[in-house]
Structure formats: structure tokens, C-alpha cells
Amino acid sequence: MTTMTETSARFREFKMPDVGEGLTEAEILKWYVQPGDTVTDGQVVCEVETAKAAVELPIPFDGVVHELRFPEGTTVDVGQVIIAVDVVPGGGEAAEPVAPAAAEPEPGAEPEAPKGRQPVLVGYGVAESSTKRRARKGTEPPAAAAAAIQGELNGHATVAADVPAPTVGTVVPESRPLAKPPVRKLAKDLGIDLATVTPTGPGGIITREDVHAAAAPVPAPASVPTAPAAVAEAVAVPVAATPVPGARETRIPVKGVRKAIAQAMVGSAFTAPHVTEFVTVDVTRMMKLVAELKEDKDMAGVRVNPLLIIAKALLVAIKRNPEVNAAWDEADQEIVQKHYVNLGIAAATPRGLIVPNIKDAHDKTLPQLAAALGELVTTAREGKTSPAAMAGGTVTITNVGVFGVDTGTPILNPGESAILAVGAIKLQPWVHKGKVKPRQVTTLALSFDHRLVDGELGSKVLADVAAILEQPKRLITWA
């Protein structure tokens, strides 16, 4: 699959690329260009969000934007055309580009052999599926655009070659209101006539929120428009669901990063048998070391905080117990021991939880580790973390202490063997040298995959981390 096609010598089309390795879809967050705008090779034309991150897409040729195939907020499959560009502006009349029809096998025809991975703009691309949609029996007249859209909603439509894809700014004619079957059932249960509901979904599709809004006891306008909203109007509708006054519930579509988090956590929780162990430790000496390092000229220009020392402590503990740094290969029934550590740091962002990792963290000096942590956090907060930065992690740290939480039972990042949760560091009464004194104390929790890590090994790793934080000089003696 390529990311661009030529519909004529004049128009070229740019397809949604695989912006992460193996991803199958992405949501268009924002268009940076509009029809009539001039674009140049390498210019960013839109921002898309995959299940892993938000990515800006550059276009690989010059020209004038002729058509945007999808509005903002639309989830588009990899390989679908998203923009058409006039590469010979002012070149006279030419046939407009038409969205390619979905290829359907003729009755009795042999399906094409599946092709391998094809080069795309970003990443390695996805292999084309060998599964073909079965041709519908009999012949049917050319479907109207609305019928085609409703058929897709019902999951059994075919795409006719003479039906162009909806474009930005085009009102799609309809024979009946467009809605998915569950939405139609909801309207029926609530006694709502869909013809009286104002649609806010992309392409004039009625959503659950629209039905609930129609059912809510709020004053209704004198006349309710029955025509579907234009796609251009749908672009202006926020992607996130807006609470309707008087409504008792708000439904938010599960997509993007939130969808990926849900799938990953469910997969991890019900695949890897989790065990979590806890330890409470006096980190007063560690906090003194942090204060001293902040004044050290060798650490100038980098951020020094407790997380830096905790990360280094975990790396030393893994070096002393290398068997914990492994992965379970279900297909080959093998345990894969990693001789490198890609240290993941769980980060809360406006788009949800992401876990970028520091590549080869085990080889980094303390200043290098501090610099990498600072860059990782900054990039995550700006929403610019790349899919590659979140791939290949081996173990993870999640700092729940920043929220004032004592500890938790963290769920493993898929494909990893362990995750360390760090609680809040608080001043507490503690027995020190035979006397009760106020000391800086925190609680650590280590979750691990019990297929890979026995209780003894997990306990040793957690105990080593705690021992280093209690006596930071062990960073020298044990390293």
C-alpha cells in the first residue's frame, strides 16, 4: 500500500499512512490546510491521533489542495484517501478525483493472493488482509449516498463506483435519518422520532447524545430541521461529548489513546497472572542526596528529583537480578530474557495515560538518565511523543505519589515483566537508631508477571530497590 495515488496527470491523492507499526486506523484531529491552499513537499497538512500518539502528517508533493475527504474528528482506516491535491493548478478542465471503489470479487472468482508489507510514509506499514468482503447476491440499483452510508452503519454495505465519497462542505442527501442500529433501538425505546432529531455526528449521523437530547425535558425550538447537518458543520462539533442540560448521562466515544489503554489493560490483566508486593521504606537519606545533587555542577542543566534516584535504583536492582527483565512468548512457548533495559515512565497527558520509555537506560550515567527523563516528560506533556518512543519497553515505573496517593496495585504494561509504583513521600514517625523520629517515608509496590517471576525473585528486586533508597551509597557499592 502506498500513501499517494494519481487519478489523472493533474490530481494526486494522499492516503492515510501507517503512522505506527501495524496500526490500522487513525483519527483526524486537525486540518492545517483547506481547499484552495497551496502546499509544498514536506508541508504538514494535518494532525492525526492513533492508538499510541498524536502525529503530524506531511504531504510528499507540491500543489493546491483540491479536496479534503474527511472532516476533523473522523476515524479513518489506513490506506484510505484523505486529501486530493491539484498538482497542475490552472491547467484547464480536468476530471475531478473520485474515491476508489472497494474492490469486490466476482462470483466464482479466485481471491488475490495476500501481499506482503508495503512501504508507507511512516513506519513499516501493515500487511494487506487476504480477507475479501463477500459479494452481495443478485443485482441492485445504484444506491444513493445516504443509503450507502446507512448500509455501512449497519455493517453490510457495498461501495458503488458511481457514488463519490462525501467531501468537506457537502450536504449528503438522505431518504431517512442516518443512525446506527443501537441508536435506532434507543430512539424506539424512548419513543423518539429520528426525523425530529438534529444530528451532530460526522456526515449527519444521529448519535446517542442526539437522541438523549431530544428526550430531555428542555424547551424545544419551534421547528426542528430534519435535513442532516453538512459535513462542514460537523467539523465544528467538538469530538468530546458535551453534557446536555437536563440529561442524566453523557456518553463519550471510546477511541484513540483511551481505546488503546482499555484494550491494553484488559489484555494484560487477563493474560498475565499479576502478583503485587509492597514495602515501606525510610527515604530520608535519598532526599538528602537529591538536595546535594541539585547543587552539583555535573548535574547543571538537568532536572534532579526523587524519580531520578528511584529509576537508577531499579536499574541497579535489575542488574543484580537480571532474570526479572524478561518477556513471555506465548506463540513459541519461550521466556525471552532481555539483556537491555528500556525503562518505561508512565505519564498522564490530556489524551490519557501513555508509557514512553528510555532506550538502553541501563547504559546511561546519572546525568544522562536525568536528561532523558526530562526530555521524556516534556515531550509527553506537549503531546508529541512518537509511537516509536512507546514501543519496546521492558519494565516501567509509575509515580502515583505526585497525586498524594500512598501506593497502588499497578497493572503491567503489555509485554513487560514488572512495574514499580512509587507512593507519596511523607514525613512520618519512624524508629531510627532506637528512637522515634520524623523521617521521610514512602511505600513501593512491585507488580510482576508470575509466569516469569517467582515470588522469591520479585521480592529480591523490590527489597534491593528499597535498600538503595534507604542507603543511596549502595548505588556505588552494588553498581
432 is catalytic: no
- What's the per-residue H, E or C state across the chain? CCCEEECCCCEEEEECCCCCCCCCEEEEEEECCCCCCEECCCCEEEEEECCCCEEEEECCCCEEEEEECCCCCCEEECCCEEEEEECCCCCCCCCCCCCCCCCCCCCCCCCCCCCCECCCCCCCCCECCCCCCCCCCCCCCCCCHHHHHHHHHHCCCCCCCCCCCCCCCCCCCCCCCEECHHHHHHHHHHCCCHHHCCCCCHHHEECHHHHHHHHCCCCCCCCCCCCCCCHHHHHHCCCCCCCCCCCCCCCCCCCHHHHHHHHHHHHHHCCCCEEEEEEEEECHHHHHHHHHHHCCHHHCCCCCCHHHHHHHHHHHHHHHCHHHCEEEECCCCEEEECCCCCEEECEEECCEEECCEECCHHHCCHHHHHHHHHHHHHHHHCCCCCHHHHCCCCEEEEEHHHHCCCCCCCCCCCCCCEEEEECCCEEEEEEECCEEEEEEEEEEEEEEECCCCCHHHHHHHHHHHHHHHHCCCHHHHCC
Selected catalytic residue, list 66, 274, 362, 450: 450
Just list the catalytic residues.
450
